[in-house]
Amino acid sequence: MNPEEVPTKLSGLLKITATDREILALLLKSKKKLHVGEIKSQLRRSERAIRGRLAHLHRIGLVRRESSTKKTRRPAYVYFAPPVREIVRAIREEFLRNLRRIEEHFD
């Protein structure tokens, strides 16, 4: 599977938004780790929206982050996509968590 196809394939399996797909596609294409401001300027979304979606993507394992220092010497995170194999593993784990939640309603 082409890495650029991954975000589109995710839509049917997980609860991710169009913005989530755009962020993941951007990070998969990027050759470097990106700050929130860089993602914001490329996707033309608000910083708040980008931060919220990155937090969600990080929580479910589709995006990684590392501590960094901006030019202003303020602490910040840089974001990047893990290898596609790890994205697939994270998708499987999140899908199984969601499935277990559904099954609990029938027990």
Query: Total structural domains in the chain?
Result: 1
Q: What is the DSSP string of the chain?
A: --GGGHHHHHTTTS---HHHHHHHHHHHH-SS-EEHHHHHHHHT--HHHHHHHHHHHHHTTSSEEEEEE-TTS-EEEEEEPPPHHHHHHHHHHHHHHHHHHHHHTT-
Q: What is the CATH number of the domain that holds 99?
A: 1.10.10.10
Output Rg (C-alpha) for the chain, integer angstroms.
15
pTM, entire model: 0.80
User: Please, which pLDDT band fits residue 8 given cuts at 50, 70 and 90?
Assistant: low
Residue 57, domain extent: 3-104
In this predicted structure, the answer to whether residue 79 has a pLDDT above a threshold of 90 is yes
Q: Tell me the mean pLDDT in the region 7-18.
A: 71
* Phi, then psi, of 35 in degrees rounded to 5: -80, 160
